[in-house]
Amino acid sequence: MFKRFLRVALFLGCLLTTNISYASGINIFIPEQVFVNKAQLTLGDIAEIIGADNAKVETLKKVNLGSAPSPGSRMVLNNELLGMRISAASLNYNDVTWYIPDNITIIAKSQTISGQELLVTAQNYIKSNIPQAITDYTIENVNLPQDLLIREGTVTLKPVLPYGVRYNAPTNVFINVMVDDVLVKKVELRFNVKRYEQVVVLTNPLMPNQIITGADLAIVRMDISKIPQGYINDINKIIGKVVLRVLAAETVLNTGMLYNPIIINKASTVEIVYQNNGIEVRAVGTALQDGREGEMIRVQNEVSKKIISGLVLDKNTVLIKGR
């Protein structure tokens, strides 16, 4: 039951310097139990304030009572504590009549956002940021978010990828939890995003300068975050190539390992083709080093004995272009 002001005059005495009549000025009614939906409390959140002086009523409604309980929890405000918080506003309460219970229970309204909803929101956001050309991938959560208890209102979940989607390190997603367009919580989730591709691996060991055949190769689905850049997806790009060192079976081949086979041997006779400004001259020469297609090697003109560098075109021809 409500008690008249005289009942609580001891704790509110510091606010009043004269006797108060029920009928005069402004009346403030506070129930024994109040539901709130704010982080900071004002007198207007827990009380009904009635009076003819509208300006004074509005001022009283804004009196700060401190922090509200967290969503879903409650707190008890007794007369003494209420009096201390009201007195801090330094207002004139001479024309105010108070109707206050001994204890006021303040309960914060709440709603629950499930951890599963946060998880799905983050996963979908990661998917939306993976290029459409990438179709084979997995998303595994590192941490499982807990359910969130937040204040009532319209909820919006706004995910952010501060560092983008990463395939060789954890991908971080921050979810800004908004209630009525106000940020109330920020949740961090971490995921392992793995991207898979079909890559070429060896089925047999290879020796240096051994020409690779289709029987030496296989296509395997692999997590590309665990293999060096330069991996190859097409077997046809490897057949006929050689390597310069011993490679074990199941090795993932990459472009840095592969070379064209030697097609011109040192001391072999070659045709030297010299091109300059539309003029072409051919001569017989000798290769001074081994050469692969597309490599530059030194050759010697058999007639002039001049040594010059040229581009290996095929097993018989070295091209020299004029400037």
Q: pLDDT digit string (tens) for 169-191? A: 999 999 999 999 999 999 999 99
* pLDDT at residue 298 is higher than 80: yes
Is 5-108's fold the same as 262-321's?
A: no
Residue 16 pLDDT = 36
Question: Which of 57-61, 92-96, 170-174 bottoms out in mean pLDDT, i.e. has the lowest?
Answer: 92-96
pLDDT at res. 163: 95
- Average pLDDT over every residue of 306-322: 94
**Cα–Cα distance, 102 to 7 (Å, whole number):** 9
Mean pLDDT across the chain, nearest whole number?
90
Give residue 69's pLDDT band: very low, low, confident or very high (50, 70, 90). Answer: very high
What is the enclosing helix (H) or strand (E) of 54? helix 54-61
pLDDT of res. 24? 55
Asked which of 85-89, 116-120, 153-157, 254-258 is least confident by mean pLDDT, the reply is 85-89
115-159 pLDDT, tens digit each: 999 999 999 999 999 999 999 999 999 999 999 999 999 999 999
Per-residue model confidence (pLDDT) at position 247: 95
Confidence tier at 225 by pLDDT (50, 70, 90): confident
Specify the CATH number of the domain 5-108. Answer: 2.60.480.10
The sign of the CA dihedral 87, 88, 90, 92 is: negative
Task: Answer yes or no: is pLDDT of 96 > 70.
Answer: yes
Candidates 212, 248, 217; CA nearest to 235 is 217
Long-range contacts of 56-63 (CB under 8 A, 24+ apart): 56/26, 56/95, 57/26, 59/91, 60/26, 60/28, 60/91, 60/96, 63/89, 63/91
Predicted confidence at residue 93, as pLDDT, reads 86
Distance (Å, whole) CA 104 – CA 102 = 7
Instruction: Tell me the domain boundaries of the chain.
Output: 5-108, 113-194, 196-257, 262-321
196-257: CATH class: alpha beta
CA angle 201, 207, 212 (to 5 degrees): 50
Structure-token pair, residue 145? 């978010």
Q: Which CATH architecture has domain 262-321?
A: Roll (2.30)
The model's pLDDT over 1-47, given as tens digits with 9 standing for 90+, comes to: 333 333 343 344 444 333 334 445 899 999 999 999 988 999 999 99
